[in-house]
């Protein structure tokens, strides 16, 4: 069996470094013994090679481990290297928690400023102002002389139509001011600070490079403008942007540690953890945050990252709690405590809410994407400031008259989730007081089982209007050039719908205690239906419909209530919502935005269903010119340069000879250019006529010929290959699991073509009858 | 560029099926158009090929989807196929929940039987018996005339030394009887039912096949013997075996659905979910269960499985709750409610507990593995029944006199976790009653801050003895031929240590309120130290040290307490414990047992640290004979048979020709033998001189020659290849992520060798200075 088994095939392991991008010592006498700056790095808007990056990190780690046996200093270095990951996580948690606390406090203050000002110090928010004044009783916390509405301050009275108009105008003024500041700051200093950031972070985590997206300017501007955008009353939340903020923190802190600064794959592990931190501080749900990162955002999520994310998420949650921005010592944003259990019959309305959530999710995604596409393609996109101002004005104008839209999204959700207690003065609890001595309510407490009163009917009308308003305005708000999260608006829509249905069920039960539906579990006087729970289930359903989250959503909601009891309704609604929404299109809002922006993102969740073969997808296509290849010897520097310049490919396969087409390795364009450039400058005798050699041993050249340029050091000796007959589903699987950016295609041992991530994405777009040129980047 | 681009490279996608193991129609006229029975299946103790299995499932799914457009019946079939996964999960949850409930009830009854019998019906357990008698008051629930200890029944009195001895002897008698029954049943009917099952399930989930390990006999026998083993008082738990039981349920239920019955990869997704179900019913912790499956057990865990596992885990937990085996309507095994917060200073003892847990974990693993190795290699292994009886007798003999070892492990842990309430009659709460009018305790409640009394001192002594006893006996118990879980014994050890430390801290604080450590947060009368929390932290630390679980462990504990508050202590202890234990060896107990048994398990958590190249690991080695290959044409049936018979390889590469060594495909030994055998029987003219042809088009043969045997249908046209220079860490990564069982090695486009999972494991064993022949299976 004449296998070409020359000695170097059995060369000792230490020579392997020659195959890597210049890491470690090489046994070959090679001009590239020390890696050139730039070799092995990536350009902007390019995809990283996960396998190489991780291999590079293992090399680095191996080196440190080997050295650590030699001296104490090296040992300490090795230990500090091992713990640097944990230290980094601690710092990310602390910084993100602190920032989130700051954002909460500032947003609360500015939101209150739209309504009035504190006389004892304008830097106090409403609640804080009344605490300071020491006069407010517990029930009347929000009324104190020190806090004056704008009408009071300007006209001296808070009564009457004139005062109302003054307040209304001031409300609109502040909304316009805040939104103007937000959009101007974003445009002037950090265009990447707009939007929720989650689609881009998903793309970055999958291995794409967008320089500056997680930089310090983005962090600073996003933090400030997020506060402004939330305070302006626009229909947006701060949860998505908080994920972006946490990722910025992580990215910046990565620069403190060589291990993470220099390795794109390792840095992405930290970013995955940061995504968990973002959700953890947004909702006070560390476990939910970790699962969110795992389920929704991350691409490569090793178990080590799971544990570290959990640690960082906890640190952040406790940092936030020690800042205590909500003033209630609670970890969670919406603290809910339900007492009544739910009954199996109630699963029907819960599933109904799931269907509503799914329908709304699908509708919202379509409408929002259509609107965003219009923004991208028409003149609308040229006036982002005007767009934001118009939407802010419209929002403020329509929102102010209705108390449920005037309050912030988080407050609204909080109120809708709440159960009515006996002393609750909220309109939502405007039940008729049934006296305890009537026969009907002789048993049971007076809290439960009451007919709706006038207050509640008003509230229901207002809620219905708020629902329509929120559904409309969110579609045009999400995607504007301000930081905007989608969690709170989606949850608000669902919570309103849920509360409406819940109150409906409650009244139905009140008037039909004896019907077969309610008999047996909802007797008169029993506290059987909790409208707050319906609101919660509705919120989960709508959020699920929009984002297609499942486990993480249920766990986040579970962390809010803290009782396993209510997981089943949440699960039923989330599951229904996902199924209904998936029937209209499998993409969640984030994937839809990724596609809209043409990022090269290979969805890890979706299966490749088509039965193509790799040969159908690879390049060159049948009609194309042949694949551009380099030969391992025999080409001159001039020929190589000509080949590189005549094409735009980012890499070239190296073959034994043009005739045999047997594959030797793969060279990246960038590395090739840098190396030749460097050799021409530094190395003597390298001219255009010099031979370029990729073999292990230099060929013998004529005495008068210029010395050859040896480039084996920059060649990847282990390029990935698949055969032309490999089904595309397997090839896609390989790309996803290994995080490749290209793969060579062979037929019977001969090089036939190349397939890249972009080719796959284009092919998938083609199958789905979309424009393959919508995939923009490499 | 002379790429060999013959038309078939661009053949339409529909011919791809020819490359698969006989799925779908093939365009080629091939005797194997219909797959032969057996082709594409696996033998016992072999590793599956994940990529092919998943590709097969996608083919099946594609076919169903395509058909569904044609008729309503096919559409319904497609829908039912899509929902069969959910239905299966529901069934797994229901069945496992019901079984777990049955096991709990039966074990409770048999455990009580060791102490006495119920006069109104021997089938009542102690608690149930006293409920039935209607005489017991709440405080005195465990004393009623209907329940008689054996001494009472036999001698008529429960007082005195004689009665004690009678009870003692009866206790030992029942222990011996139960353990004898358990070990005999296991040996007679289902040898696979012994042990915890988790190491084997990990191996199975990683793609190994052990027929019968998850079969119906294993299920029946494991369920029965688990009850007996737990009741016999041996130091073992039922948590690990419950995972095995749930996996058996899942495997059996898989047979109801073609999709899962016929596909090894799909079935493993269900088994992953079943592992989550097992932990969910063991602890009443569905989220923790899912994370356990993700972190500890599963190999391939797509997000779809995450969501389904969660569903199944919830169904199981609620099924168990509706059975209500603990009689307290609680979902969780140990329900704990702490009220006092913890202080930062307390992190020091928590970390101390972590160190203890880590040390014990490392020690336990070494001692247990040493003992198990002795059992495997010496004559001890020949007498499993005697071994079990001796250990059971020893356990009963030593355990009875100490009330903390006499009670079951779960009861012990439950008692140790509990906080002392005012009326608690337990010895552990034997504090001196300080009268409320002394100056010292004038403030604060009398619950907290009390000096230890005589009762507590006795309890502490007994606990210390129990700790030593449990530590010793668990080492020799785990691994015996009875079902045995490790969670409860590990947690018991940790809980005892934690409680001891907790009481110590409490007393230290009581006598040193003014010292700088306690000043400020632990003033006299304050309820500042909760010994129950220490027990919990200790339990987590010890379990973490033994199993090296992290996130899932913390989440399980979190679900027991339900408060995020106590996550930080748990996390600190678990983290310390893992670090300390890892310093002595990175393997958890399950990995250690996998290695002891020589299963081919490629640990997904550990990085491959060595700097070998693939060429160093592949076969043939330098001194070996050349690689056995088939050529795509030119070999006769007789030659092929001779080659197959002269080797023991499970597959053969197919090359263009012996000279070129260019790779065409890969044929499995099993498929080759079945096909040739079938052709000889069924196909006319196939004799030893017939040519075997793997090419697409049959070669022209002489008129008088026998017709060729065409075997392209069984050839894998897309074998995985790596180059000889690929660093081993990358190769290992590919094997792990894609779940390969073999990979071909090429050099410059020529076939050089082959590398299998076993080769990698042997190489890793060699690096770690272990015997490479300890890897036993393929």
User: Mind listing the pLDDT tens digit for each residue in B570-595?
Assistant: 999 999 999 999 999 888 999 999 99
How many Å apart are CA A117 and CA A124, to the nearest integer?
8
Q: Does B661 contact A749 at a Cβ distance shorter than 8 Å? A: yes
pLDDT exceeds cutoff 90 at A365: yes
Of A619-633, A714-728, B357-371, B459-473, where does mean pLDDT reach its minimum? A619-633
d(CA B166, CA B404): 20
Residues for chain B: how many in total? 778
Q: Which residues of A touch B317 (CB under 8 A)?
A: 564
Using CA coordinates, name the residue in chain A closest to B14: A611
pLDDT of residue B76 exceeding 70:
yes
- Helix count and strand count (H, E) for chain B: 27, 11
Q: Which pLDDT does position B115 carry in this prediction? A: 87
What percent of chain B lies above the pLDDT cut of 90? 45
Q: E-assigned strands of B510-657?
A: 630-631, 635-636, 651-655
Residues of B in contact with A744 (CB under 8 A): none
User: In what helix (H) or strand (E) does residue B723 lie, and over which residues does it extend?
Assistant: strand B721-723
Q: Are A54 and B733 in contact (CB under 8 A)?
A: yes
Q: Higher-confidence residue: B325 or A359?
A: A359
Q: Nearest chain A Cα to B715, which residue?
A: A725
State the DSSP code for A626: P
| pLDDT given at position B11 | 35
Q: pLDDT band for position A121 (50/70/90)?
A: confident
Asked if pLDDT for residue B438 goes beyond 60, the answer is no
Q: Mean pLDDT across the stretch B223-236?
A: 94
Report pLDDT for B583.
92
Interface test with B, best of A287, A337, A549, A664 (most B CBs within 10 A): A287
| Average pLDDT rounded to a whole number, residues A48-52 | 88
Residue B108, token pair as written in the block: 């409770």
Taking CA–CA distances from B303, the nearest residue in chain A reads A295
Q: Is the pLDDT of residue B92 over 90?
A: yes
Q: Which two tokens stand for residue A241?
A: 């942007």
pLDDT at A618: 92
H or E, element range at B637: helix B637-646
A747 with B4: Cβ contact below 8 A: yes
- Using a CB-CB cut-off of 8 Å, the residues of chain A touching B559 are 564
pLDDT score recorded for residue B130: 78
A78-323 and A348-383+460-587 share one fold: yes
Using CB atoms, which residue from B2, B58, B720 is nearest to A729?
Answer: B58
Is B353 a residue whose pLDDT tops 90? yes
A532-561 mean pLDDT = 91
Cα B159 to Cα A752, A776, B149, B152, distances in angstroms: 91, 87, 11, 8
pLDDT of residue B425: 66
Query: For chain A, what is the radius of gyration of the CA atoms?
Result: 31
Name the 3-class secondary structure at A652: strand
User: What is the pLDDT averaged over residues A718-747?
Assistant: 91
* Chain B residue numbers touching A575 (CB-CB < 8 A): 311
Helices (H), B449-486: 454-477
DSSP per-residue letters across B263-288: -HHHHHHHHHHHHHHHHHHHHT-HHH
Residue ranges in A324-429 assigned as alpha helix (H): 347-377, 384-399, 403-406, 409-417
Alpha carbon of A25: minimum distance to chain B alpha carbons (Å): 13
Question: Which pLDDT value is given to residue B21?
Answer: 39
Contact at CB, A290 and B551, closer than 8 angstroms: yes
Residues 6+ apart with CB under 8 A from A516: none
Q: For residues A244 and B556, give the distance between their C-alpha atoms in angstroms, rounded to a whole number.
A: 30
In terms of Cα–Cα distance, which of B253, B255, B243 is closest to B200?
B243
Q: State which residue of chain A sits closest to B561, comparing Cα positions.
A: A562
Mutate: best of B308, B551, B555, B655, partner A, most A CBs <10 A:
B551
Q: What is the pTM of this model?
A: 0.89
Cβ contact B2–A723 (<8 Å): no
pLDDT of residue B656 exceeding 60, the answer is: yes
How far CA A89 is from CA of A209, A311, B266, in Å, comes to: 22, 7, 36
Classify burial at B633, counting beta carbons within 10 Å of its beta carbon; exposed 0-12, middle 13-18, buried 19 or more. middle
Mean pLDDT of A592-620: 87
pLDDT tier for residue B447 given thresholds of 50, 70 and 90? low
Q: Which of A2, A3, A97, A273 best tests the B interface by mutation, with the highest count of B CBs <10 A?
A: A3
How many whole angstroms separate alpha carbon A755 and alpha carbon A734?
A: 12
Q: How far apart, in Å, are the Cα atoms of A414 and each of A168, A335, B576?
A: 24, 8, 39
Distance of CA A428 to CAs A353, A458, A776, B11, Å?
Answer: 20, 9, 50, 68
What is the fold, at CATH topology level, of the domain defined by A348-383+460-587?
Clc chloride channel (1.10.3080)
How far apart (Å, rounded) are the C-alpha atoms in residues A196 and A239? 8
pLDDT, tens digit, for every residue of B241-253? 999 999 999 999 9
Contacts of A656 in chain B (CB under 8 A): 748-749
Which residues from A are below 8 Å from B607, CB to CB?
58, 61
Which residues from A are below 8 Å from B752, CB to CB? 3-5, 9
Check CB contact under 8 Å for A733 and B738. Answer: yes
Give the chain A residue nearest B2 (alpha carbons): A659
Distance CA A89, CA A98 (A): 14
Would you report the helix, strand and coil content of chain A in percent, each value rounded to 5? 60, 5, 35
Chain B residue numbers touching A314 (CB-CB < 8 A):
567-568, 571
Band (pLDDT 50/70/90 cuts) for residue B213 is very high
Mean of pLDDT values over A603-617: 85
Residue B8 has pLDDT above 50, yes or no: no
Cα–Cα distance measured from residue B112 to residue B101, given in angstroms and rounded to the nearest whole number: 17
* Three-state DSSP class for residue A582: helix
- Digit-coded pLDDT (tens) for B454-498: 888 888 999 999 999 999 999 999 989 999 999 999 999 999 999
Min CA distance, B415 vs chain A (Å)?
23
pLDDT score of B20 more than 60: no
Describe the crossing of helices A567-583 and A347-377 by its angle, rounded to 10 degrees. Answer: 40
For the ranges A6-10, A693-697, B391-395, the one whose mean pLDDT is highest: B391-395
Q: Which of B14-23, B144-153, B230-239, B409-418 has the lowest mean pLDDT?
A: B14-23
At A18, the pLDDT band (50, 70, 90 cuts) reads very low
Specify whether the backbone of B319 is left (phi greater than 0), alpha (psi in -120 to 50) or beta. alpha
3-state SS record for A171-234: HHHHHHHHHHHHHHHHHHHCHHHCECCHHHHHHHHCCECCCCCCCHHHHHHHHHHHHHHHHCCC
Report d(CA B370, CA B273) in Å as an integer: 33
Output the CATH code of domain B344-420+452-597.
1.10.3080.10
Inter-chain CB pairs, A–B, below 8 Å: 258
d(CA A28, CA A697): 9
Q: Answer with the residue of higher pLDDT: A342 or A85.
A: A85
Contact state of B3 with A58 under an 8 Å Cβ cutoff:
no
Pair type for strands A742-747 and A721-723: parallel
| pLDDT range class, residue B422, cuts 50, 70, 90 | low
- For residue B26, the model assigns a pLDDT of 35
> What number of CA atoms fall less than 13 Å from residue A334's CA on the CB side?
28
Domain residue spans of chain B: 78-323, 344-420+452-597, 614-774
Contact across the interface for A310 and B558, Cβ inside 8 Å: no
Split at pLDDT 50, 70, 90, the class of B506 is confident
Q: Chain B closest CA to A548's CA: distance in Å?
A: 12
For A270, the token pair is: 């930290």
How many Å apart are CA B541 and CA B543, to the nearest integer?
6
How far apart (Å, rounded) are the C-alpha atoms in residues A693 and A656?
11
The predicted structure's pLDDT at residue B134: 61
Q: pLDDT: is A34 or B450 the higher one?
A: B450
% of chain A beyond a pLDDT of 90: 45
The token pair that represents A203 in the structure block: 């793309």
d(CA A586, CA A608): 13
Q: Which of B318, B568, B749 sits opposite A656 (nearest CB)?
A: B749
Between B769 and B370, the higher pLDDT residue? B370
Is A196:A486 a contact under the CB 8 Å cutoff? yes
Buried b (16+ CB within 10 A) or exposed e, A762-772: bbbbeeeeeee
- Could you count the other beta carbons within 10 Å of the beta carbon of residue A702? 6
* Cα-based torsion angle of the residue sequence A163, A168, A173, A175 in order, rounded to the nearest 10 degrees: 140
Pairing state between β B635-636 and B630-631 = unpaired
Query: Average pLDDT over chain A, rounded to whole?
Result: 85
Phi and psi torsions of A158, nearest 5°: -110, 10
May I ask the CATH architecture of the domain B614-774?
A: Roll (3.10)
Check whether domain B78-323 has CATH 1.10.3080.10, yes or no: yes
DSSP B109-126: HHHHHTTEEETT-TTS-H
Of A6-15, A129-138, A187-196, B138-147, give the lowest mean pLDDT range: A6-15
Q: Is A664 in Cβ contact with B725 (below 8 Å)?
A: no
Give the DSSP letter string of B565-585.
Answer: GGHHHHHHHHHHHHHHHHHT-
Strands B709-710 and B691-693: parallel
Q: What's the whole-number average pLDDT of chain B?
A: 85
Tens digit of each residue's pLDDT (9 = 90 or more) over A578-594: 999 999 988 899 999 99
Q: Give the model's confidence band at A433: pLDDT under 50 very low, under 70 low, under 90 confident, else very high.
A: low
Cα B714 to chain centroid distance, Å, stands at: 35
Q: Which of A10, A295, A751 sits opposite B615 (nearest CB)?
A: A10
Q: CA quadruple A523, A525, A528, A529: dihedral positive or negative?
A: positive
Residue B11 or residue B422, greater confidence: B422
Which band of pLDDT confidence, cut at 50, 70 and 90, is reported for residue A1? very low
- Contacts by residues B584-588 (CB-CB < 8 Å, ≥ 24 positions apart): B584/B358, B584/B362, B584/B366, B585/B362, B585/B365, B585/B366, B587/B365, B587/B548, B588/B365, B588/B546, B588/B547, B588/B548, B588/B549
Mean pLDDT along residues B175-185:
95
Confidence at residue A546, expressed as pLDDT on a 0 to 100 scale: 95
Reduced to 3 states (helix: H, G, I; strand: E, B; else coil), residue B314 is helix
Contacts of B291 (CB under 8 A, 6+ apart): B551, B552, B555
Q: Residue B727 and residue A20: Cβ atoms within 8 Å? A: yes
Mean pLDDT confidence for A239-263: 93
Q: Rounded CA gap, A133 and B216, in Å?
A: 73
Asked if B55 and A738 come within 8 Å (Cβ–Cβ), the reply is: no
Point out which residues pair with B159 in neighbouring strands: none
Cβ of B555 and A287 within 8 Å?
yes
| DSSP string for residues in A438-492 | SSTTSSS-TTSS--B-HHHHHHHHHHHHHHHHHHHHHHHHTTSSSB-BSHHHHHH
- Residues 6 or more apart whose Cβ sits within 8 Å of residue B251: B214, B215, B267, B270, B271, B274
Residue B420: strand, helix, or coil: coil
pLDDT at A371: 94
- Chain B partners of A2 at a C-beta cutoff of 8 Å? 658-659, 661
CA distance A636 to A138: 86
B453: pLDDT strictly greater than 50:
yes
pLDDT at B326: 65
């Amino acid at each position: 069996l004449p296998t070409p088994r020359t000695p170097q095939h059995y060369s000792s392991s230490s020579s392997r470094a020659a195959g890597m991008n210049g890491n470690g010592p090489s046994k070959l006498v090679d001009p590239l013994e020390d890696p050139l700056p730039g070799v092995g790095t990536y350009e902007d808007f390019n995809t990283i090679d996960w396998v190489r990056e991780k291999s590079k990190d293992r090399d680095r780690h191996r080196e440190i481990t080997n050295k650590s046996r030699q001296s104490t200093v090296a040992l300490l270095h090795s230990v500090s290297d091992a713990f640097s990951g944990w230290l980094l996580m601690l710092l990310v948690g602390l910084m993100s928690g602190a920032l989130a606390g700051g954002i909460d406090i500032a947003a609360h203050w500015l939101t209150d400023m739209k309504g009035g000002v504190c006389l004892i110090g304008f830097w106090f928010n409403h609640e804080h102002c009344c605490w300071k004044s020491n006069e407010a009783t517990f029930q009347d916390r929000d009324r104190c002389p020190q806090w004056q509405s704008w009408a009071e301050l300007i006209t001296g009275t808070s009564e009457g139509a004139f005062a109302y108009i003054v307040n209304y105008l001031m409300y609109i003024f502040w909304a316009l001011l805040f939104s103007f500041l937000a959009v101007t700051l974003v445009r002037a200093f950090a265009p990447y600070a707009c939007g929720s950031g989650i689609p881009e972070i998903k793309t970055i985590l999958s291995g794409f490079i967008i320089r500056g997206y997680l930089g310090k300017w983005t962090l600073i501007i996003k933090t400030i403008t997020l506060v402004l955008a939330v305070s302006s009353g626009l229909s947006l939340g701060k949860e998505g942007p908080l994920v972006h903020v946490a990722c910025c923190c992580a990215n910046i802190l990565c620069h403190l540690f060589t291990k993470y600064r220099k390795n794109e794959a390792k840095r992405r592990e930290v970013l995955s953890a940061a995504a968990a931190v973002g959700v953890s501080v947004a909702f006070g749900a560390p476990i939910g945050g970790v699962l969110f990162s795992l389920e929704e955002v991350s691409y490569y999520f090793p178990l080590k990252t799971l544990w570290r994310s959990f640690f960082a998420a906890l640190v952040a949650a406790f940092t936030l709690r020690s800042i205590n921005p909500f003033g209630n010592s609670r970890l969670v944003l919406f603290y809910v405590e339900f007492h009544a259990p739910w009954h199996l019959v109630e699963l029907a309305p819960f599933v109904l809410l799931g269907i509503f959530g799914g329908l709304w999710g699908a509708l919202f995604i379509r409408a929002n994407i259509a609107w965003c596409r219009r923004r991208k393609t028409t003149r609308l996109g040229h006036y982002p400031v005007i767009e934001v101002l118009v939407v802010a004005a419209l929002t403020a104008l329509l929102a102010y008259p209705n108390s449920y839209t005037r309050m912030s999204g988080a407050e609204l959700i909080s109120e809708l989730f709440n159960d009515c207690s006996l002393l609750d003065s909220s309109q939502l609890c405007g039940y008729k007081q049934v006296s305890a001595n009537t026969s009907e309510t002789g048993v049971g407490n007076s809290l439960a089982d009451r007919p709706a009163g006038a207050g509640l009917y008003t509230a229901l009308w207002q809620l219905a209007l708020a629902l329509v308003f929120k559904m409309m305005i969110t579609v045009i708000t999400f995607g504007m050039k301000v930081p905007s999260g989608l969690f709170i608006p989606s949850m608000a829509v669902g919570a309103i719908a849920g509360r409406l249905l819940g109150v409906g069920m409650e009244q139905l039960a009140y008037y039909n205690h004896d019907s077969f539906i309610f008999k047996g579990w909802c007797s008169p006087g029993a506290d059987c239906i909790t409208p707050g729970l319906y609101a919660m289930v509705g919120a989960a359903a709508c959020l699920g419909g929009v984002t297609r989250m499942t486990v993480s959503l249920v766990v986040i909601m579970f962390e809010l209530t803290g009782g396993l009891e209510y997981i089943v309704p949440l699960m039923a609604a989330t599951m229904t919502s996902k199924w209904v929404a998936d029937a209209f299109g499998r993409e969640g809002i984030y994937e839809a935005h990724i596609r809209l922006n043409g990022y090269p993102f290979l969805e890890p969740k979706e299966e490749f269903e088509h039965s193509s073969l790799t040969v159908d997808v690879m390049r060159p296509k049948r009609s194309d010119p042949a694949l551009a290849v380099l030969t391992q010897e025999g080409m001159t520097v001039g020929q190589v340069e000509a080949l590189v310049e005549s094409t735009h490919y980012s890499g070239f396969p190296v073959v034994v000879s043009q005739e045999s087409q047997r594959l030797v390795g793969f060279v990246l364009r960038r590395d090739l250019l840098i190396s030749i450039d460097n050799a021409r400058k530094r190395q003597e005798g390298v001219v255009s006529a010099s031979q370029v050699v990729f073999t292990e041993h230099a060929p013998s050249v004529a005495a008068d010929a210029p010395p050859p340029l040896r480039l084996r050091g920059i060649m990847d000796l282990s390029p990935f290959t698949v055969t032309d007959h490999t089904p595309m589903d397997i090839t896609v699987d390989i790309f996803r699991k290994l995080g490749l950016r290209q793969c060579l295609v062979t037929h019977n041992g001969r090089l036939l073509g190349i397939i890249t991530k972009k080719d796959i994405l284009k092919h998938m777009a083609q199958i789905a009858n979309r424009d393959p040129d919508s995939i923009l980047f490499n």
